[in-house]
Amino acid sequence: MIDYNVNEDGFYGEFGGAYIPEILYKTVEDLKKAYLPILESQEFNEELHILLRDYVGRPSPLYYAKRMSEQYGCQLYLKREDLNHTGAHKINNALGQILLAKKMGKTRIIAETGAGQHGVATATACALMNLPCVVYMGATDVERQHVNVQRMRMLGAEVHPVTSGNMTLKDATNEAIRDWCCHPADTFYIIGSTVGPHPYPDMVARLQSVISEEIKWQLEEKIGRNYPDYLMACVGGGSNAAGTIYHYLNDERVKIVLAEAGGLGMETPMTAASMQIGTVGILHGSRIKLMQTEDGQIIEPYSISAGLDYPGTGPLHCNLHATGRAKVIAINDDEVLDAAFELTRLEGIIPALESAHALGALKHMQFKPDDVVVLTVSGRGDKDLSTYLKHI
Ligand SMILES: *Cc1c(COP(=O)(O)O)cnc(C)c1O
């Protein structure tokens, strides 16, 4: 049987690895040695558990969506990560990594951010833990996501606008890596998704795996069976999806459906569907599927949701796609908006644009009436109201 988890060398099939500059070798090696013993220790788990419960508000509910179930002819349960403190799943990972950073004796935190959601989660964790925080953000995104910049600054973080390249997420990540190279001894780099060099994809997946850990006992409680027929989630870098599927990766009874950002259509240049249209290459230390020209220049991705427009997808998901373990569907902007309005009107839940990609995938499925479907609502839509209102 195939094991879909990372192997000892940091690979998922042909994807993953740690392609890093020489100067970071020791830092990444130290992290590789430290992360598993710490993440598996009782002390770490107790501290994290208390934070997740009392600060984040976990467990997040598993909500039976009755009207949506009728609409799609299945038993649809929504995993409500939108109800977490700071409005999305990203806080699960930020708190876990900052606890790890403290245990490793690091005294300074850096992060990259695109839409600003990971930056806000990291700035929040840093305020809580009293650690200095520097967030790199493309200058274009600083302008587009002004409210999140102000939230980060109010939380005490230094936000550095990055003016290289297209001034978006990829450029912010390059700049964060540059900073890390200059301060490898005291600085911990909190990466916001299941991307980057090994051990980051595995570490982030483990920190988000609280999602599927809860799904297991919540389903048992609700339907007397601890697994669904389908798991569905949206994929940017892949962290909310990784958390949703983590404990079911090798359970073939459970089908996995991943929604990536189609943008204006996979066949157009305005897309972020990197698993389906990308080619294999190395980005930010990892061998993944990415959007690039024939000579390896990154093609700027496009999506209606700022949180999904990374030009690649993490190695775990690339492997799930390549092996056929997961079905990957590109959801276009118009389907995303329809899905967001549908959930709002049928269930009174305004989802993040990112999460609406997972909802948009429902229309592409053919369910049997008793199929149990768990779909993760990764975040809330408050941040996306101006986009929604333009389309009302
Ligand atoms: C950042 C974000 C995503 C995409 O990131 P993943 O790492 O793929 O989960 C999805 N949904 C929301 C609400 C986000 O903020």
| Residue 112 designated active-site | yes
What pLDDT score was predicted for residue 38? Answer: 98
Atom of ligand 1 nearest to the CA of 235: 8
Helix (H) or strand (E) holding 328: strand 326-332
- Annotated catalytic residue, options 112, 175, 260, 335: 112
Q: Is 338 exposed, middle or buried (0-12, 13-18, 19+ CB in 10 A)?
A: middle
CA of 224 to the centre of ligand 1 (A): 30
| Residue 43 designated active-site | no
- Annotated catalytic residue, options 90, 102, 106, 170: 90
* Ligand 1 neighbour 235 (Cβ under 6 A): yes
pTM of the model: 0.98
| Residue 378 designated active-site | yes
What pLDDT score was predicted for residue 151? Answer: 97
**β-sheet bridge partners, residue 326:** 256
* Ligand 1 neighbour 236 (Cβ under 6 A): yes
Compute mean pLDDT per 10 residues along the chain, 392 residues long, and list them: 94 98 95 98 98 98 98 98 98 98 98 94 98 96 91 98 91 95 96 98 98 98 98 98 98 98 96 97 97 93 89 97 98 98 98 98 98 98 94 85
Sheet holding 187-190, edge to edge: 158-162, 133-138, 108-113, 187-190
Please give the full DSSP string across 373-389, using - where no structure is assigned: EEEEE-BBSGGGHHHHH
What pLDDT score was predicted for residue 301? Answer: 93
Sheet holding 62-64, edge to edge: 62-64, 75-80, 372-377, 230-234, 255-263, 326-332
E-state strands within 20-123: 62-64, 75-80, 108-113
* Ligand 1 neighbour 317 (Cβ under 6 A): no
What pLDDT score was predicted for residue 115? Answer: 87
Distance CA 222, CA 357 (A): 26
Distance CA 5, CA 12 (A): 7
212-223 per-position pLDDT tens digit? 999 999 999 999
What pLDDT score was predicted for residue 288? Answer: 98
